[in-house]
Structure 1
Amino acid sequence: MSGEASASPASAGDEGPPSGVPGFRVWALPGLPEVRPGDDLAKLIASTEPGLVDGDVLLVTSKIVSKAEGRIVEAADREAAIDAETVRVVARRGPLRIVENRQGLIMAAAGVDASNTPSGTVLLLPEDSDASARAIRDGLRDALGVEVGVVVTDTFGRPWRTGLTDVAIGAAGVRVLDDLRGGTDAHGNPLSATVVATADELASAGDLVKGKAAGLPVAVVRGLPHVVVSTSGEDEGTRGMVRGARDDMFRLGTSEAVREAVTQRRTVRAFTDEPVDPDAVRRAVAAAVTAPAPHHTTPWRFVLLESAESRTRLLDAMRDAWVADLERDGKSEESIAKRVRRGDVLRGAPYLVVPCLVMDGSHTYGDERRDGAEREMFVVAAGAGVQNFLVALAGERLGSAWVSSTMFCREVVRDVLGLPEGWDPMGAVAVGHAAEEPKARPERDAGAFIEVR
């Protein structure tokens, strides 16, 4: 890579690598005036006589796109602007917020920026950077008759790495990702996870010559025509570069992750037949047994029903006991069948867990009131353990449903599973992968559940 910040195509110094050696050139584009709201960026770039040729890639700093599109607000409104641009808070530390903005990007302060803009103002990101890139590409084709790619860039910090770099937030006419999966490396090893972020690499290359304070907001890359794609048809833009929530293992900050897991824990009543990872369930149990408990006890036991045979044997025995109870209550066959069907959520799950309460370490007072309170403390601790378990399962991307049915036939459950007499089954938890997205939970006003004294 070569090129001074003020270089032009004809005077960029070294003409490139030796013949036959892969390489490219990158230089900043001089002569661009201060951009103002309403300016046509393609015409401004064309007016600098940039000497563009087919296959070049233009790297355009998002700030000049925002200025041209009038995305300027008063600095006093910065916090309100961040709020307006924010879809969700990913992490917060003091006044600093890392958020997902309306463009789907995860970044500090939703991309609202006070640099390279007149004093007293801040810039918002373009509303649709892909559309902005298309407008510049089309405008340059009309003005100069060239087929180029355009990447709109912005500066990002990165998890686990110190320092900033430019990445692509919009693109047109550029192959933004190079999917090498299915190929092999130089040693013949299969490539199963290699997808190169070509547009981000181009953005970073341009940042090396544009700089942050040199007043050179546009760079040109030449020598990589294979990354420029036909302008016909639908342009993919940068939408596919944003990792989806399901595949994002680092979606939240620590405190936000805890709140997200709690609020996103939902009762799942229909599961796919995808197997459950037993290690994930064991990790959830490890979280469960950190719950508070009286007298430094450990009143939880979790029975994992990992074989289909064990699940069927238990559920059949529970069904028979339940039917016998309902018949003794005088329920009709139709009523009994309807009630028994409610237990189908357990039969449809590929994995079952029976949490049990043990009273080891409890105190006996010989007083009905105090002994009753003692048991209640242990029951509350058992519930806390189950809640930890359910939340941890949600964190493992597993759905669950806590069903109380084992509490109505504890002797049957103990007998079928061979459990000690002192183990009290506290329901059963169906575990698996949700067959469909859960319905939206009705909003609840927390204030309605609070009394302050």
Structure 2
Amino acid sequence: MSGPAAPAVPSYEVRALAGIPEVRPGDDLAALIAAADPGLRDGDVLLVTSKIVSKAEGRIVRAESREEAVDAETVRVVARRGALRIVENRQGLVMAAAGVDASNTDPGTVLLLPEDPDRSAAGIRSALRELLSVDVGVIVTDTFGRPWRTGLTDVAIGSAGVRVLDDLRGGTDDRGNPLSATIVATADELAAAGDLVKGKAAGLPVAVVRGLGHVLGEGSAAADLVRAPADDMFRLGTSEAVREAVTQRRTVRAFTDEPVDPGAVRRAVAAAVTAPAPHHTTPWRFVLLESARSRLELLDAMRDAWVEDLRRDGKSEESIAKRVRRGDVLRNAPYLVVPCMVTDGAHDYGHARRDAAEREMFVVAMGAGVQNFLVALAGERLGSAWVSSTMFCRDVVRKVLGLPEGWDPMGAVAVGHAAAAPAERPARSAAAFIEVR
């Protein structure tokens, strides 16, 4: 007697397709593939190198240089090192040189990626169904480098009839442990498998995968593989991230009710105190008002002092009420910080001009610390607004908060989660602020 049949061991076959001629603009790519006797069956996955798709679609353009074409195809520079640029291109892909290819094309021309790779894949799939009466998946592939890993690999930039992602979240592994973050990039794995037989210089731009019919399916596209900006923790290169952090910081005046993480504020303070300072001093102190009681007590006392000043100035009650409402940004914030300056270590020259300059050095250092703080808060996805009001009633602030006499409040920072995206800020040309001697 024979025992029970052994369970089937998963396997698949991948092979390159020979016989594809040089592709030229206007060629019917599906017809060329069909003419090469691909032996396709239902459930196969066809892997097509983007270069021949681009050639068939006439994505060959004249350019004085490759860099000129890269400029035209770039939506956003992600990272730059010398002549190398990692960019987001018009298709939403983040890759070197926007995918512009100057190889295997006539001098003075470059090859751009397909305008819509998912649409290209769908067109090839539909045409092969008509020509060969088969239901296959189609993936358009291109070569990418990757963060953290040396070397290139093929990935899917276009897809039709393939479930590009296998979302395993909510399931369990073979030990019963829950899977909470596992999403497999199936289309990229298929693309990489095909590259093993196509090669980079073998003149074999098409491959066929057989035995994985379960990956076929409708309703997804390669565009689904592109991580949304809000979820991309590595959206920028180093120098680009520094510039973005500084230039994209905005003053936020309206906040949600979501609590502020005290740890995030403390991390921002740690960044703040790396600012330059005179005489190796540390002139920064940050008072964190984490309780509603402390915030209300301070703001009420500051309001009363402001009203008294305005009445002394002869302002009308209507004018006073209007001005006091400007403080609502602090009153409505879920978290307040009062940066203070201390001048321990300052030199006493006994000379008015030099002593004034000495204090100004500390004020500049304080401003650098506050700027570091605001930028670091933005990096923590927290909005902020620096308001100068505590500088106009320092004695009141010191009294309410119980601060030492030598601590000079230097404004207040409202902190919270922005209620809406800040308005775009018009670009400023550095030339307007520069004098060269």
Q: TM-score range by the shorter chain?
A: over 0.9
For 2:290 and 2:366, the matched residues in 1 are separated by: 22
The answer as to 2:84 corresponding to 1:100 is no
Residue number in structure 1 paired with 2:321? 337
Instruction: Classify 1:348/1:25 alpha carbon distance in 2 versus 1 (closer, same or farther; 3 Å).
Output: farther
How far is the alpha carbon of 1:98 from its aligned partner? 1.1
Residue number in structure 2 paired with 1:403? 387
Query: What amino acid does structure 2 have at the position aligned with 1:93?
Result: R
Residue number in structure 2 paired with 1:8? none
Residue number in structure 2 paired with 1:252? 236
Q: 1:236 aligns with which of 198, 205, 220?
A: 220
Query: 1:129-148 alignment to 2 at 5 Å?
Result: 129-148=117-136
Q: 1:36 aligns with which of 7, 17, 24?
A: 24
For 2:325 and 2:71, the matched residues in 1 are separated by: 47
Relative to structure 2, which stretch is displaced further, 241-250 or 112-121?
112-121
Runs of 4+ with >4 A deviation: none
Count of residue pairs the alignment pairs up: 432
How far is the alpha carbon of 1:275 from its aligned partner? 2.3
How far is the alpha carbon of 1:413 from its aligned partner? 1.3
For 1:412 and 1:272, the matched residues in 2 are separated by: 29
- CA contact 1:414–1:420 (8 Å) conserved in 2: yes
CA-atom RMSD in angstroms? 1.7
Residue number in structure 1 paired with 2:376? 392
Relative to structure 2, which stretch is displaced further, 355-364 or 443-452?
443-452
Residue number in structure 2 paired with 1:64? 52
Q: 1:433 aligns with which of 390, 403, 417?
A: 417
| 3-state SS of 1:167 partner | strand
Query: 1:52-451 alignment to 2 at 5 Å?
Result: 52-74=40-62, 76-118=64-106, 121-230=109-218, 235-451=219-435
For 1:205 and 1:399, the matched residues in 2 are separated by: 45
- CA contact 1:26–1:205 (8 Å) conserved in 2: yes
| 3-state SS of 2:8 partner | coil
How far is the alpha carbon of 1:415 from its aligned partner? 1.4
How far is the alpha carbon of 1:166 from its aligned partner? 0.6
For 1:308 and 1:178, the matched residues in 2 are separated by: 47
How far is the alpha carbon of 1:113 from its aligned partner? 1.6
Instruction: Classify 1:201/1:262 alpha carbon distance in 2 versus 1 (closer, same or farther; 3 Å).
Output: same
Q: What are structure 2's unaligned runs of at least 5 residues? A: 1-5
For 2:132 and 2:398, the matched residues in 1 are separated by: 81
Residue number in structure 1 paired with 2:3? none
- CA contact 1:24–1:221 (8 Å) conserved in 2: yes
Deviations for 1:123-182, whole angstroms, at most 9, x for unmatched residues? 111111111111111111222222221111111111111111111111111111111112
- CA contact 1:87–1:100 (8 Å) conserved in 2: yes
| 3-state SS of 1:402 partner | strand
Query: What amino acid does structure 2 have at the position aligned with 1:255?
Result: S
TM-score by length of 1: 0.91
- CA contact 2:277–2:362 (8 Å) conserved in 1: yes
- CA contact 1:276–1:432 (8 Å) conserved in 2: yes
Query: What amino acid does structure 1 have at the position aligned with 2:401?
Result: L
Query: 1:14-25 alignment to 2 at 5 Å?
Result: 20-25=8-13
Relative to structure 2, which stretch is displaced further, 266-275 or 358-367?
266-275
| 3-state SS of 1:324 partner | helix
Deviations for 1:319-349, whole angstroms, at most 9, x for unmatched residues? 2222232233333333222222222212222
For 1:306 and 1:194, the matched residues in 2 are separated by: 37
Percent pairwise identity: 82
- CA contact 2:383–2:417 (8 Å) conserved in 1: yes
- CA contact 1:75–1:114 (8 Å) conserved in 2: no
| 3-state SS of 1:364 partner | coil
Instruction: Classify 1:343/1:236 alpha carbon distance in 2 versus 1 (closer, same or farther; 3 Å).
Output: farther
| 3-state SS of 1:343 partner | helix
For 1:100 and 1:367, the matched residues in 2 are separated by: 57
Instruction: Classify 1:225/1:379 alpha carbon distance in 2 versus 1 (closer, same or farther; 3 Å).
Output: same
For 1:266 and 1:23, the matched residues in 2 are separated by: 54
- CA contact 2:88–2:94 (8 Å) conserved in 1: yes
For 1:23 and 1:324, the matched residues in 2 are separated by: 83
For 1:299 and 1:106, the matched residues in 2 are separated by: 43
Instruction: Classify 1:23/1:309 alpha carbon distance in 2 versus 1 (closer, same or farther; 3 Å).
Output: farther
| 3-state SS of 1:356 partner | strand
How far is the alpha carbon of 1:76 from its aligned partner? 3.7
- CA contact 2:65–2:108 (8 Å) conserved in 1: no
Query: What amino acid does structure 1 have at the position aligned with 2:328?
Result: D
For 2:216 and 2:175, the matched residues in 1 are separated by: 29
For 2:293 and 2:18, the matched residues in 1 are separated by: 74
Deviations for 1:2-32, whole angstroms, at most 9, x for unmatched residues? xxxxxxxxxxxxxxxx862222221111111
Q: What are structure 1's unaligned runs of at least 5 residues? A: 1-17
For 1:304 and 1:127, the matched residues in 2 are separated by: 52
Query: What amino acid does structure 2 have at the position aligned with 1:130?
Result: D
